[in-house]
Amino acid sequence: MTRHDPEGLADVIRQFDEDDGYLDFASLGPPGRAVLDERRELSEVVGRARFGAIDPLYAATDRLESAVADATGFSRGNVVFQPSTSSGMMHTMFGLTGQVAVSRGEYPSTTTAAARASESLAAMTPLWFDPAHGRVTPGALRDVLTPDCRAVVVSVVDYRTGYLADLEGIRQIVGDRLLIVDAVQGFGVVDAPWTVADIVVSGGQKWLRAGWGTGFMALSDRAAETLVPVFSGFDAAHASSLEPDAVADAPPAPRRGAGAFMTGMPDPLAAAALATSLELTARAGVAAINSAVAERVSQLIDAADEVGLEVVSPRATTERAGIVVLAPPEHRLTALTAALFNHGVTATARGGTVRLSAHASTSAVTLDLVRDALGDYAATPE
């Protein structure tokens, strides 16, 4: 991670203008002014198509790869743009061979990619397992891994439970198997040891606040050599700089390394937006962002405790990131969601729980709105 100045976090927070009451960053992180300005200015360039102005746009991909390399610790040559976490996970699952350990509780983009790869190519076989409380821990993996298992998939932060995975502990259990990490629910707010993984995929629309259509895939040297680039398009070949007619009769082989995992040319506007977001994050410092998020999460947990509302997400700071999951009695779920709605609090309700997710920019007013909403909920007759 690049160095940051002491005032970086405050300056970065001032970039954001989300309305008070917004607590759904685990679904979408509203972009800040710098990202919106970047997209707007580059859209103007594309719209006018002035002489000589289009070609420089393609440098945005180089800028993105450098920003991801700085943020993850992976080499720039092992980083490639992806339009989403799902896209990176499809590349990954279809490129694996052998048995792959996958929790059934992983986000559907992972479980679906695993199922599709197994059904279509039969080169990989999912080793499905159901960890206790939905938490993929080193102990849970120790109980399910087999000698035939070649890879393990885990989310750095579980989207339902808010659990922050122990990547270093998991790495020890995984041994020489490939470790694949879905980073989208933690990247930008969790100071994780990314390089213990072999493959890291993430979208930029959540905690990085770069907007939809942004993401990346980072690979270790070993993963870059062993993962098969099944979906590797013309732009992922060394010959992509040639005229299409020159290779039409002899489709080029994929290049080596991360660059093979492209199906088409990266969107330069999306690449620039994600690069801008990563540069802002680097300026603030992930550790500083994480500390601010932790403070707000603690306040949300305290507010729930004050009214006796069960918190089923982790309480320990070492096991959580920005997600708080509330579990009211089944017959009280509607009362809770109505109270939040009436106070203008944006959250996600699913499976009998309510998920609140706070960022460093979450305001004191937002936290007060939650307290007021929970107070009304507690005062509602059962």
Q: What share of the chain has pLDDT > 90, as a percent? A: 87
Fold match flag (8-30+285-379 vs 36-283): no
Neighbour count for residue 94 (Cβ, 10 Å): 21
Say yes or no to pLDDT of 185 above 80. Answer: yes
Over the stretch 9-62, which tens digit does the pLDDT of each residue have? 999 999 999 999 999 999 999 999 999 999 999 999 999 999 998 988 989 999
Average pLDDT for residues 98-118, to the nearest whole number? 97
Q: Is the pLDDT of residue 90 over 60?
A: yes
Is the pLDDT reported for residue 360 higher than 60? yes
Mean pLDDT, the chain, rounded, equals: 94
242: confidence class by pLDDT, cuts 50, 70, 90: low
Quick one: DSSP state of residue 320?
A: B
What is the pLDDT averaged over residues 297-308?
98
How much is the pLDDT for 236? 81
Comparing CA positions, the residue from 97, 157, 91 lying closest to residue 126 is 97
Cα–Cα distance for residue pair 14/66, rounded to 1 Å:
25
- Work out the average pLDDT over 287-304: 97
DSSP for residue 69 = H
Q: Is the pLDDT of residue 251 over 80?
A: no
pLDDT in the model for residue 257: 86
8-30+285-379: CATH number: 3.90.1150.10
Could you tell me the residue ranges of all domains in the chain? 8-30+285-379, 36-283
Tell me which CATH code domain 36-283 carries.
3.40.640.10
Confidence band for 2, pLDDT divided at 50, 70 and 90: very low
List C-alpha distances in Å: 32 to 26, 158, 252.
16, 25, 40
Q: Tell whether the model's pLDDT for residue 249 goes beyond 90.
A: no
| pLDDT number for residue 1 | 39
Q: What is the mean pLDDT of residues 278-284?
A: 96
Residues with Cβ within 8 Å of residue 302, at least 6 apart in sequence: none
Provide the pLDDT for residue 233: 84
**What pLDDT does residue 166 have?**
98
Cα distance between residue 41 and residue 157, in whole Å: 34
Buried b (16+ CB within 10 A) or exposed e, 332-362: bbebbbebbeebebbbbeeeebbbbbbbbbb
Q: Convert the pLDDT of each residue in 63-75 to its tens digit.
A: 999 999 999 999 9
Task: Give CA 237 to chain center in angstroms.
Answer: 27
pLDDT digits (tens, 9 = 90+) for 73-85: 999 999 999 999 9
What CA–CA distance (Å, rounded) separates 266 from 274?
12
Mean pLDDT of 197-217: 98
